[in-house]
Amino acid sequence: MEKIPYKIYLSENEIPKQWYNVRADMKNKPAPLLNPGTLKPMTLEELSGVFCTELAKQELDDTTPYIDIPEEIRDFYKMYRPSPLVRAYCLEKELGTPAKIYYKFEGNNTSGSHKLNSAIAQAYYAKKQGLKGVTTETGAGQWGTALSMACAYLGLDCKVFMVKCSYEQKPFRREVMRTYGADVTPSPSATTEVGRKILAEHPDTTGSLGCAISEAVEVAVKSDGYRYVLGSVLSQVLLHQSVIGLEAKTALDKYGVKPDVVIGCAGGGSNLGGLISPFIGEKLRGEADYEFIAVEPASCPSLTRGRYAYDFCDTGMVCPLAKMYTLGSSFIPSANHAGGLRYHGMSSVLSQLYDDGLITARSVEQTAVFEAAEKFARIEGILPAPESSHAIRVAIDEALKCKETGEEKTILFGLTGTGYFDMVAYQKFNDGEMSDYIPTDEDLKPGFEAMPKVNL
């Protein structure tokens, strides 16, 4: 067997021609979105008021295993894909581990993350439907940047509600979005009804994804020719993100490599869901077995400490209800939480897989995450996003376990993006001012209590 290079680049022709829809292979399908008024499953017509029609169809489709990627989207993918699958030779050597470590690096594009994979898809369908523009929320700013880029490319208007604390911590993210022609508003804002309501109740709030979603949905529904788009959580997003896993698997297959463990950070689940998709597909079909680890922040532990229940997707409670592992839509991570991964719930697909015992989850504290990030940056030469560094932390931990046991496990993790716009957080870490905070059971109680009483 030929020596595996540091970076495996597929050719342009090997960019997937179809997305893989994991739901088609799930025996226990993810629970449907519910209309918050009637508590009945959302129909295509209802969903189409909020989402582009084609995306609403994808959201409801849990039977078609492969969905063609339109040529125009593939052309856009060619500008930054295939993304490299990297063999972490330097990290392995530094750790002295017999484990073989690979990472799929999605940060080699200006949005700085994997989010662009779904942004271009969603913008494309909006354009095709003849819309004027789209609205969205963004937390750490990666999704907003990705959507701005996709909209600039297609000539669509783009309105972004950015969680206020991120807006303040990351002024330059806003400028990138503006350079791509987007309109960026810190959330909660006085520009929407729901924003004004939240501000009246919590004048000092630094915002949350849940608030920003409510504002973006309100603007989409009230504006002519606009729809709302979302960067994570939804099943359609996991569908688009399957390109990550499909490319990773094609690259590994070329060298006859099969991962034992697949690790991804998990906020809403877009990266993890995309990365594991072809592998979990094989597991669901009984063709192969893998261990999957979702890594989440100890300060926002939806899988490890949340409840599996129907919940509101947003703070303003204007969205459909989703069944997911959740901390409650009123949950906001403590102010010392530095990275992304701050959504209160988790993708319905991943929640169901987790509930079925097909994937595992682990929570990590942020100082340990930044230690891993800094080590990785110095050894592998890439300054990682705090989000991605959750996966790095657990990949290193697993590799160190192998050092103890002597196991030669093959570890694959998702390096979702770069941390170039997260230097305020790195500065805190460099100055020794970063702390950990694990919410107490008391802290979690209000979120659980505020959940809707529809859990049948």
* Site of interaction with its own copies (CB under 8 A): 5-7, 9, 11-12, 76, 78-80, 90, 108-110, 112, 149, 152-153, 171-172, 175-176, 178-181, 374, 377-383, 418, 420-421, 423-424, 426-427, 430
Nearer to its own copies, 158 or 213 (CB): 158
Nearer to its own copies, 66 or 172 (CB): 172
Q: Are 293 and 359 in contact (CB under 8 A)?
A: yes
3-state secondary structure of 449: helix
Which DSSP symbol is given to 417? B
CB of 297 to its own copies, least distance (A): 20
Nearer to its own copies, 84 or 269 (CB): 84
Which DSSP symbol is given to 52? -
Q: Are 201 and 177 in contact (CB under 8 A)?
A: no
Reported as type and span, the H/E element at residue 372 is helix 366-380
CB of 163 to its own copies, least distance (A): 19
CB of 35 to its own copies, least distance (A): 38
CB of 314 to its own copies, least distance (A): 29
Q: Are 275 and 368 in contact (CB under 8 A)?
A: no
Nearer to its own copies, 107 or 259 (CB): 107
CB of 172 to its own copies, least distance (A): 4
SS3 string of 224-282? CCEEECCCCCCHHHHHHHHHHHHHHHHHHHHCCCCCCEEEEECCCCHHHHHHHHHHHHH
3-state secondary structure of 113: strand
* Residue 353 φ/ψ, nearest 5 degrees: -60, -40
CB of 126 to its own copies, least distance (A): 17
Nearer to its own copies, 78 or 222 (CB): 78
Nearer to its own copies, 148 or 330 (CB): 148
- Name residue 295's beta-bridge partners: 265, 362
